[in-house]
Structure 1
Amino acid sequence: MRIALGVSYLGTAYQGWQSQPGGKTVQDRLERALATFADVPTIATLCAGRTDAGVHGLNQVVHFDAPVERAMNSWVRGTNRYLPDDIAVQWALPVPATFHARNSARSRRYAYVLLESPVRPSVETGRVGWVFRPLALEPMQRAAHHLLGEHDFTSFRAAQCQALSPVKHLHRIDIGRRGPYWRFDFEANAFLHHMIRNIMGCLIAVGQGLRPPDWVAAVRDARNREIAAPTFAPDGLYFLGPVYDADLGLPRHTPAFDWLPL
């Protein structure tokens, strides 16, 4: 039986999602917990979207082919027994054998939470990005508009990106504020490695008045990573999860969604 899981995690202590030889990734911890609960040597998972070191996940979706039969709520509670406190399976559901966590996704959603304050964060350390210079909303919205639609995002792509094509379709960028906290929401068919963090660097440069909004269009069209702003910190970046066809019945939210500002 093929099973899909919704997984939430705080990425601060991990070297990203994807398994690495050192075993200090979210995937490594999840697969060890699944195998321990199922009492089998290994269980391999595939995820909807790989996250970088320090990036968090609210509804990461993975699938695996279960080697044993268990009730769905047992996959949740039993696996969580063997996971650290900063990773938790939120739900488990059976899916068709043709389901693929990555390839079946119609789009992917991220949010970046940013603190604007003259003083660095303390209790939010690792959970928010930080700027000490004031930001202006309207210039950032104008800059973001230049990135909507289908474009070659080479200028916002990390050198080590393994994507076959730099062309992606960015469906939306929404920017809002509550008190000193900003929230930037992104949805696209797929994202390149460091794409959001590189976009954030450019939007912040515009919001602080260091660059005009139309500069972002010039960066986009140049297809040259060297002329864009530096990659912004991973701390405030959250993978909200993928979007699938409604008939699959997979949850799009977890309780942690209500914790984020806005």
Structure 2
Amino acid sequence: MANYFVGDIQGCFDELMLLLDKVDFNPSKDCLWAVGDLVARGPGSLETLRFFKSLANSAKVVLGNHDLHLLAIHGKLKRANPKDHLAALLAAEDINNIIDWLRMQPLYQECPEQQLIMTHAGVPPNWDLATLHTEANRVSEILKSKNYLHDLVSEMYTNSVDEYRSSLSPLEKQIYCINALTRMRYLKQDGRLDFDCKSPIQNCNHAELTPWFELESKLPSDYTLVFGHWAAIMGQTNHPNRLALDTGCCWGEHMTLWHLESNQKITQEKLKHVKRS
């Protein structure tokens, strides 16, 4: 059995298939882990979701910010950005089944035997494993519920919840969890999330901002944390246990696949194909 981890796909389905061909991925014996943002800027969001849904137990997926946004769009809470190429997905006859499958996916995946955690954007440095489990599982419980749109999705669009405190209300804790696990890049000096700067680290001119993975973490020191979300850093963290896999395929760069057992990365350049009809 082989474990493969893929960076943000963002609807770049053809590139994903080429990557999996390169490693002879076999769902009957291999497992494909995805760091979230399965959908958005590429032309194949529908095919991507159908593929991962078809893998069943051979896939381990976490939700990214674009995946959560899709729930809001499907629920008529937000309008789709034309640049996200979601028309075919939203018009698909099986869209309701796809959305029901998507909202069953968690915000984190863990492999204790390999001492590994995967989230979309990372884990706040002041969270230990117990806090991650508690807060992320609470969000997942609501997303799986009948009233997920009213109880959470409609409330999650705010930057005002940027700090984790015990005094936060249950809803505020859920919003912070989503903000941290799916949107985090830089932290301010007081530990609050910064939602504005997306620049590569070498181009960030804000002295008070620090990449979250450069701060001391409460996670076990021997745990590897796999994440995506931050294409601008192109997989570079300079941290042995912080593995960034978003390498900007949807922005014209490449898609990255990491083979856990050999600790090797395999890449596929963005295709210059004609837009699908």
Q: TM-score, normalised by structure 1?
A: 0.26
**Structure whose residues are more often strand by fraction:** 1
- Greater share of helix: 2
| Higher gyration radius (CA) | 1
